[in-house]
């Protein structure tokens, strides 16, 4: 059986899991290093998480020493290591206080701690910069200890994950992404010696639309569901498709059907006009598919349809300049630069009409989706390599809020895990 969710390349991977809801989470209390029990809902949620992760393959499990993390780890593993470096941020004298209380009594101090990242939280705790260094040092140390094609699961905390995510999706003047949900899965893979975010805030074990999606819709915020097309033969052959009009292969059609069965159909569905996208969109649409030309994949120019090996043989200097030196050249000499792709797709997305009470479906391509998501962050990466290409038929949700777009999740593909 082919397992379409897993990458065919040899990549080391860390699968982060935020602990289940604690009583402090339910009460709105900042617990930090303070230990405490799970809420009744948190206890109940462990069943769905445990069942899901019991089918995953991994080589080691690591947990924060705090009981809310250890109890979450026990839902899917009886053999895990404790590592102090994966514990929550130290909040100093703000431990045990509610955000509203902290804001009322220490508002200026809180603003300083967040904006400067160097002032200690709660006067005596860690600064965000210190917590970030601790978190990334722990993550990189664990990654270094893993061999190629090996995976670790880390059960940790929301504040810790903020530091991890800051490396991949830092915001400009506010956080670009939602706070990680309880029991959410976030995956980071290492490719070419660097970490890349493969998925974020995946709560697919509870259903296709997270509580964040439902909450934003209830508040009147439009929500985009950005979906990559199903698999094509070019994906299998590692060809750079670009504007090449490849249709879905047999597995791609089964992926698209599984997506439609899992996620459901929608009244407003936009798609790139390329066959692989429009065919996928057809499984999602109640009222037909609206083709949007500017949702097409990046133009690869002379590289269209060639494999990576063929391109490397004929254009080694161009590949080196783009992917090692970070110079944003037009692909295949006559194609688009990454900046041109980002501008085109971002403008197209901004021009879409939104559904009122359900996500607006947008079916596009791996590069196009990565470019748009990256454009919402402070990344200085010229080709969005901080993000891993989303899996075929995976879903990424973005809410359009008063402060601007907010990334709710990235590359969720729960429907593929049981596909045979």
Instruction: State the catalytic residues.
Output: 229, 297
d(C-alpha 14, C-alpha 171), whole Å:
23
d(C-alpha 294, C-alpha 368), whole Å:
10
Contact 199, 207 (CB under 8 A): no
d(C-alpha 87, C-alpha 73), whole Å:
14
Q: What is the CA radius of gyration of the chain?
A: 21
Place of tokens 């970070």: 326
CA 319 to chain centre: 26
Mapped onto helix, strand or coil, the DSSP state of residue 161 is helix
d(C-alpha 190, C-alpha 26), whole Å:
35
Non-local (6+) Cβ contacts of 149 within 8 A are 10, 11, 12
Structure tokens at 354: 């939104």
β-strands 404-407, 395-401 pairing = antiparallel
Structure tokens at 201: 């805030």
DSSP class of 353? P
Alpha-carbon distance values, 252 to 31, 108, 233, 300 (Å)? 45, 53, 9, 22
Contact 210, 406 (CB under 8 A): no
d(C-alpha 284, C-alpha 261), whole Å:
9
Q: Which of 404, 17, 371 minimizes the C-alpha distance to 199? A: 17
């Amino acid at each position: 059986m082919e397992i379409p969710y897993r990458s065919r390349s040899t990549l080391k991977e860390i699968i982060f899991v935020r602990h289940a809801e604690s009583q402090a989470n339910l009460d709105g209390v900042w617990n930090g290093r303070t230990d405490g029990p799970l809420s009744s809902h948190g206890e109940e949620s462990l069943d769905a998480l445990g069942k899901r992760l019991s089918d995953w393959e991994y080589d080691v499990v690591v947990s924060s020493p705090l009981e809310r993390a250890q109890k979450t780890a026990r839902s899917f593993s009886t053999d895990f290591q404790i590592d102090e470096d994966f514990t929550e941020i130290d909040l100093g004298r703000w431990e045990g206080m509610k955000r509203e209380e902290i804001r009322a009594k220490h508002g200026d101090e809180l603003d300083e701690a967040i904006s400067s990242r160097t002032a200690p939280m709660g006067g005596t705790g860690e600064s965000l910069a210190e917590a970030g260094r601790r978190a990334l040092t722990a993550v990189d140390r664990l990654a270094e200890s893993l061999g190629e094609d090996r995976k670790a699961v880390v059960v940790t905390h929301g504040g810790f994950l903020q530091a991890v995510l800051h490396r991949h999706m830092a915001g400009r003047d506010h956080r670009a992404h939602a706070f990680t949900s309880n029991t959410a899965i976030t995956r980071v893979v290492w490719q070419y010696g660097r970490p890349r975010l493969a998925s974020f805030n995946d709560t697919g074990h509870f259903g296709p639309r997270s509580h964040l999606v439902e909450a934003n819709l209830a508040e009147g915020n439009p929500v985009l569901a950005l979906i990559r097309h199903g698999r094509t033969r070019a994906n299998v052959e590692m060809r750079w498709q670009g504007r090449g009009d490849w249709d879905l292969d047999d597995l791609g059609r089964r992926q698209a059907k599984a997506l439609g069965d899992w996620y459901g159909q929608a009244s407003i569905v936009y798609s790139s006009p390329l066959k692989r996208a429009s065919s996928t969109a057809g499984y999602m649409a109640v009222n037909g598919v609206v083709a949007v030309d500017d949702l097409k994949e990046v133009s690869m120019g002379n590289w269209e349809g060639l494999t990576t090996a063929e391109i490397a043989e004929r254009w080694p200097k161009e590949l080196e300049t783009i992917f090692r030196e970070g110079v944003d050249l037009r692909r295949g000499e006559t194609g688009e630069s990454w900046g041109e792709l980002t501008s085109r797709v971002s403008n197209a997305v901004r021009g879409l009409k939104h559904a009122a009470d359900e996500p607006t479906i947008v079916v596009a391509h791996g590069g196009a989706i990565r470019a748009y998501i990256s454009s919402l962050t402070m990344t200085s990466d010229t080709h969005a390599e901080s993000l891993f290409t989303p899996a075929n038929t995976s879903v990424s949700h973005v809410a359009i809020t008063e402060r601007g777009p907010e990334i709710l999740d990235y590359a969720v593909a729960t429907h593929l895990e049981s596909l045979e």
